[in-house]
Amino acid sequence: MNYNHDTDQDLDWAADQLRRQKNLGKGLPDTAVRRVTASLTAPQNLTLRAPLAASLGAPVPPDSTIGNALSALAINSGSPEQCRGVCDSFLALLSDRDRIQLHTEFVELKGIEALLGVVQTHGGETGLSALRVLDKLSRTSAREISAAGGIDIIVHCLVQEGQAPSMMEAALRTLHGLTFDNDAKEQVLRRDVREIAESLVENRPWEKGLQGSIDDPEEEERTARAWGDVNSMAMRLLSRLGGAGTGQRPRRPQD
């Protein structure tokens, strides 16, 4: 008889009973500790690094997980290139609308907080990539984004002086997705987002800046098209919030 095996079985059983008893007393669900997270396929030009191997520079195997990638995001938070690469991986992974389970796992692993940190720290293409991932999560995890302070961060991207039109369009798109949850929609209204969108649509502040400011006609056309996307997204958001010209105008929630 393998007495060591029997002892291990007894220890496992005792640990299981202890966990059940503690969870019952605290009102927690009886679920096992997560040890493995969903796999993440990284871009070919990105090398993810595990927390314990970061100082040695040892790459994570190709079948990296969401947990590995979030660790890499935290470790390389000061590197725009690495952050953008990880966010691009998340964007590809979470874009499928049928991957609700992956969205849930990503939220449980504090992925929303990590993305918001990237948006706050980095601008340009890196911040844009993180914002686009938040857009993919906006309809499935609106309340979690709101609870993490995401609405304030996204609105700041929208009103920041000199902000690129691509960032503004992504911010508007993310806010638009949040409005499909009633609680998140109320929080969006509290931040005067309707008034901001109305100002963009009615005043079109970028037009004066475009006139004669760009020598290259092709570049001017691309810039005008980007601002056109901002205007289009602002109108869609107004439609959700009941802005000017969209029919009934709902009352803003009282603080």
Tokens 């987002």 correspond to 193
Predicted confidence (pLDDT) per residue in 39-75, tens digit: 655 444 444 433 323 332 333 345 578 888 999 899 9
Tokens of 7: 């002892």
Distances (CA, A) of 238 to 49, 168, 173: 42, 15, 11
Q: Which domains does the chain have, with CATH numbers?
A: 61-242 (1.25.10.10)
* % pLDDT > 70, the chain: 71
Tell me what pLDDT residue 121 has: 93
Q: Which amino acid is at 61?
A: P
* % pLDDT > 90, the chain: 47
3-state SS class at 247: coil
Q: Tell me phi and psi for residue 164, to 5 degrees.
A: -70, 145
Tokens 């595990």 correspond to 50
3-state SS class at 29: coil
The CA distance from 55 to 51, in Å, is 8
The CA distance from 205 to 172, in Å, is 16
Predicted confidence (pLDDT) per residue in 128-141, tens digit: 999 999 999 999 99
Q: What is the dihedral of CA 222, 223, 225, 229, to 10 degrees?
A: 140
Which residue pairs, CB below 8 angstroms and at least 24 apart, start in 189-194?
189/241, 189/250, 189/252, 189/253, 190/252, 190/253, 190/255, 191/151, 191/152, 191/155, 193/155, 193/158, 193/237, 193/241, 194/238, 194/241, 194/242, 194/243, 194/252
Q: Residue 138 CB: number of other CB atoms within 10 A?
A: 22
Tokens 């720290």 correspond to 121
Distances (CA, A) of 233 to 118, 128, 161, 163, 251: 23, 16, 19, 16, 22
Predicted confidence (pLDDT) per residue in 160-200, tens digit: 988 889 999 999 999 999 999 999 999 999 999 999 999 99
Tokens of 202: 């009615």
Chain centroid to CA 174: 9
The CA distance from 219 to 226, in Å, is 11
Using the predicted structure, report yes or no on whether residue 118 has a pLDDT greater than 90.
yes
